[in-house]
């Protein structure tokens, strides 16, 4: 990034912070703070090991320093401004989850647009929140658009604050369904002198698979017999005979399905349930970034600050407003929508921002400032004289 572009962005970030009110996290005085300034060269300079008292008034600091990125620690410390981690005195840490659009299975950053990648990431976020709320019972989850490629979720619960990295990795493995024993979701237990195979309904992936099984049986009941058999035979290992047995047992025995009893379905029942379990994992798991969650000293972006790689706001989102949230509209700083700027586009292509779409060739263009800031921050353009 050249000097003119860097100075322009630093100045406009400062203008943004003159009226912005970033959200301080709980226990802000117990957290480490860090930022990345608008330095020249390819090397990134991180300024960290600061307490909120080292910064002074947060608003004044942001207006004065105009940082490119702003962070605070998920952890709380006795002395957050100490120069080494060992000296800080770790008290506990928020449980933080990160979803990055670049790392989603099935999403190709080389072919998908930025808008498409963010939409896929939002779908993954919905799955993550469903897991955190239904399976873990977390009630205090703060959702934040990162300002860049995805979303953060902060869980501030006394029951998880003291977890070490290994315990947090167990949570990651559950959310991502890592090495899930699909066959183990079916247990065998004694009932009236006989044994019976049934789904584990107490919670977790067993309960989720049971929900998928009930929905699948309702699907079978809604179609004619021939269509239902074809639907069953689409699974590997289920031929016409097994399909006939399963259809008669499952469709005609509602109580067995409600109780998770798969014994009535014969040998094909385990095959079907394991296939539905794999579908459940694919549809319900969330591809979170493991190092972010397992790192008990992680720095995370400050809500209300600007992301130096896009010029978008790191935006906290109310849970009931998530469905309607559009990051390429709702995270655009209002201050950057009031005028146009001239830039030289060095990486041509499409841009979708603030409800508009642009296709820009290489060369000079006059564009809405939010578009210009976005392109310059992503090193796709540089500032030219007006």
Residues assigned a catalytic role: 98, 100, 289
Task: Work out the end-to-end distance of the chain between its first and last CA atoms, rounded to an integer number of angstroms.
Answer: 18
| Per-residue tokens: 225 | 């017999």
Distance of CA 120 to the CA centre of its chain: 10
Cα-flanking dihedrals φ and ψ of residue 115, to 5°?
Answer: -65, -40
Dihedral angle computed from the Cα positions of residues 155, 22, 87 and 162, in that order, rounded to the nearest 10 degrees = -10
Cα-flanking dihedrals φ and ψ of residue 231, to 5°?
Answer: -65, -40
- Burial classification of residue 358, based on how many CB atoms lie within 10 Å of its CB (0-12 exposed, 13-18 middle, 19 or more buried): middle
C-alpha to C-alpha distance for 108 and 116, rounded to whole angstroms: 10
The β-bridge relationship of strands 150-155 and 340-345 is unpaired
Cβ atoms of 92 and 76 closer than 8 Å = yes
Alpha helices in the chain (DSSP H): 3-17, 52-55, 58-65, 85-88, 114-130, 158-161, 165-176, 204-221, 225-233, 240-251, 254-258, 268-284, 290-294, 327-330, 369-377
| Per-residue tokens: 124 | 């993954």
C-alpha to C-alpha distance for 187 and 168, rounded to whole angstroms: 27
- Per DSSP, the three-state class of 345 is strand
Query: How are strands ordered across the β-sheet holding 95-100?
Result: 95-100, 150-155, 141-145, 315-317
């Amino acid at each position: 990034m050249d000097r003119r572009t860097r100075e322009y962005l630093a100045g406009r970030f400062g203008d943004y912070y003159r009226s912005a009110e970033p959200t301080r996290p709980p226990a802000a005085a117990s957290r480490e703070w860090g930022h990345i300034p608008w330095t020249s060269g390819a090397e990134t300079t991180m300024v960290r090991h600061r307490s909120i008292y080292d910064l002074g008034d947060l608003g004044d600091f942001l207006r004065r320093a105009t940082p490119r990125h702003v962070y605070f620690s998920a952890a709380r410390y006795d002395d957050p401004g100490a120069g080494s981690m060992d000296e800080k005195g770790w008290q506990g840490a928020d449980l933080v989850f990160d979803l990055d659009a670049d790392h989603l299975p099935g999403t190709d950053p080389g072919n998908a647009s930025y808008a498409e990648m963010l939409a896929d990431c939002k779908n993954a976020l919905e799955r993550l929140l469903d897991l955190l709320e239904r399976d873990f019972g977390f009630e205090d989850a703060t959702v934040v658009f990162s300002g860049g490629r995805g979303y953060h979720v902060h869980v501030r619960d006394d029951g998880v604050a003291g977890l070490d990295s290994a315990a947090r990795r167990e949570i990651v493995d559950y959310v991502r369904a890592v090495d899930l024993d699909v066959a183990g979701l079916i247990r065998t237990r004694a009932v009236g002198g006989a044994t019976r195979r049934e789904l584990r309904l107490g919670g977790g992936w067993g309960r989720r698979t049971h929900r998928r099984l009930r929905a699948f049986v309702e699907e079978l009941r809604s179609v004619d017999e021939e269509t239902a058999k074809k639907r069953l035979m689409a699974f590997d290992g289920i031929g016409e005979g097994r399909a006939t047995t399963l259809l008669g047992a499952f469709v005609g025995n509602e109580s067995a399905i409600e109780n998770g009893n798969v014994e009535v379905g014969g040998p094909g029942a385990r095959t079907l349930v394991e296939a539905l379990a794999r579908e459940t994992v694919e549809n319900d798991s969330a591809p979170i970034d493991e190092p972010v969650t397992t790192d008990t000293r992680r720095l995370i972006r400050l809500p209300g600050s600007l992301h130096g790689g896009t010029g978008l706001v790191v935006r906290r989102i109310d849970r009931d407003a998530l469905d309607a949230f559009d990051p390429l509209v709702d995270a655009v700083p209002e201050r950057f929508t009031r005028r146009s700027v001239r830039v030289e586009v060095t990486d041509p292509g499409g841009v979708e921002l603030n409800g508009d779409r642009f296709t820009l060739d290489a060369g000079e263009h006059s564009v809405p400032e939010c578009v210009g800031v976005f392109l310059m921050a992503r090193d796709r353009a540089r500032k030219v004289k007006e």
